[in-house]
Structure 1
Amino acid sequence: MKLKELLAVSKFEEYNLGFGSFTKEEIEMDHKTFLDKEVTSIVPRPYTVRKFLNKKMYTTVLVDALVYLNGLNNIEAK
C-alpha cells in the first residue's frame, strides 16, 4: 500500500513519518514526494489530551500513527 492510499482510507489524527508528525492535509500539500512511497508498517499510538469546556476538564484519547515507509529511515521509531 502506498502512503497516498493509506491517507485515503484511514482516519488518524496525525501521521508520524519518523521526522515529524503531520496531518493528512499537511502531507498532501507539503510532503508530496512521500505520497508514492510504499508503507511497510503502521503502528497506532494512542495519547491523551486534556480539554476544557465550561470550566470542566475532560480527557480525550486520540490516536496517531507511526508510519514506516520503504526506503526512508524512520529515526524516531528506532
Structure 2
Amino acid sequence: MINPMSMFTRQAVRRFTTSAIRRGGHHDPYDGIPGHNMPFSTQNRHKLLLYFMLFCGSGFSIPFLVIRHQLLK
C-alpha cells in the first residue's frame, strides 16, 4: 500500500524542481541536438574516426608494449 504522504511529497518535490528550472531562465540553444553535449566534435567523420582509433588503439596497445619492454630488459 502506498503511503499518501509520500505520494504528496514526491509530487511537491517534482513541482518545485520543475518550477525552479523554469524560473532559472535556463535556455540552451543546442538543447536536444545530438552530439552537442560531447567534449569533441562529431561533424567531421574522418577526424572522429582518427580520434577513436587513437583513443582505443593506445589503450589496447599498452599491455603489449609493457610486455615487450619487460622482455627486452
Q: Please indicate the TM-score interval, normalised by the length of the shorter structure.
A: under 0.3
Pick 1 or 2: higher relative contact order, CA cutoff 8 A, min separation 6: 1
Higher strand proportion (structure 1 or 2): 1
TM-score (normalizing by structure 1): 0.19
TM-score (normalizing by structure 2): 0.20
Q: Which has the larger radius of gyration?
A: 2
